[in-house]
Structure 1
């Protein structure tokens, strides 16, 4: 039987409302506003029986999977943990700290692990007396949150999304990608014959000239709209 998520998440996993804990400018809120899955239940209805216990809401499952790909989380178990806990942890750029649902701080020593990750750790004394510890970090003495050292740059890029400059750049990127696809598929430039940076530059210049000539020839050979109308 297909289940349905009730009360719009309500009190999810903890004794606080997840909607109140996630910051207004969090990427999750923007994705939720843009993602319309109202059609999903109708598409999947034929795959569920009318008997038995209600399943997990398929819309919730899809949203969790999408969130996993957005935040580069490849483990289903880790996705569940992130949805239950990490979305409620708020990062404060001014102090370079996280705040947990219990209001405690998670700070980092500044040590970079594996060349790319900072670990923000809670104080063990804070976690020992916290009622959320059984759900938050049941097998660890204290909570820790990994953060990529380039996450700030990603935040800047996310903030630019939707601006006029971003939309212009997006249109230009599409044009460039089409040109590269044309080079590989039509002009057979899958491999370069000349060696070195100068050789690659020469080949791309010649290929660009060929592209421009092909485009120019198609425009010249096409009669102007007014002339085409008279011929018709």
Structure 2
């Protein structure tokens, strides 16, 4: 028989518990197990006034932001609506059914103010990394580095060609926040000082973003999200926002390695990266830091015409010379200089040459130097470090490292496809840095929750 019509009946009293209505296997229960926000109020104490109306609890704002970045809720307006309606979100944010959800404008006010002034989001990220280390997910022996392009909140229609862009005409007092941040970062290695080359177009709304066509498609404005990860479990140990050019991305590697050394006393045995990080200065710096570069060497010395390349000549370090396949020596200097300023400096690029009369009588001249009288080989300042990387590339450990490098690429795929961070919502270097820090924190928390699910309570009878 058909049952009675279901109608909502108002009641005077309700007995309702959010704890009982959030499933035991809900992801937020495991995330909550690892979220440590006990030090937030002490961290922000100096940035609040001792008088006036009480503010919104900063822990509530951080918990709401974590919900948004863990579940790909990009809009803060929508985030407030979801927390208002979703029981699991209310439970995680410590909100009862009758508690009011903060207005979306509260996030902007705190983000542009005390959150950035106190570097709270960096503190939150590093607290999460420390928890990963405590749980044994980070050994610090093998690390990988990579960067990914994240589209900026800017478009070509509101931009200026480089010929018409003039920084001196900008009045910082009347400029928007993103433009002021751009002016502040002109001398930073991650942004303005990374390269003297000006981009083809500069955005009016976010001039620090880089006009790039690195994806081999239509160009767009973007920032680079740089991840330094521990390859044991794919934990992100540091993150940095930079311009989307190779110089800035490679330069951020030094910044992040120094920071994890200072904050967590982590010094990797090896660093894994792609060819973009295989430049001579970068490899030289890694070797100086006693870090094995498991990185393909960025080398353009190879030839496609069948003639001998630099790799076919043997380096004789003891005598500072190259030996050709026919056994002839290529030297940089063939006599001793009484004036040390005219001799070898040990810096920059050195050129090694063979004797003309020897090469003219050599039977292999057609394969060595068919268009010149004698071969010339250049040797860079960091060629020893480049050779270290070449020797490592011949080992089995290098093959393993190339497989482990995919872990950082998988993190970027997760960032864009699951967390929905394919385009930035905030503008300026600070906005990009805030979003990258929150996203990396969310990814680490999800990794902790996946490996160590929260213990489930027995169901009530």
TM-score bin (small chain): 0.3 to 0.5
TM-score using structure 1 length = 0.47
Q: Which has the higher contact order (CA 8 A, sep 6+)?
A: 2
User: Which structure would you say has the larger Rg?
Assistant: 2
Would you tell me which structure has more helix in proportion to its own residues? 1
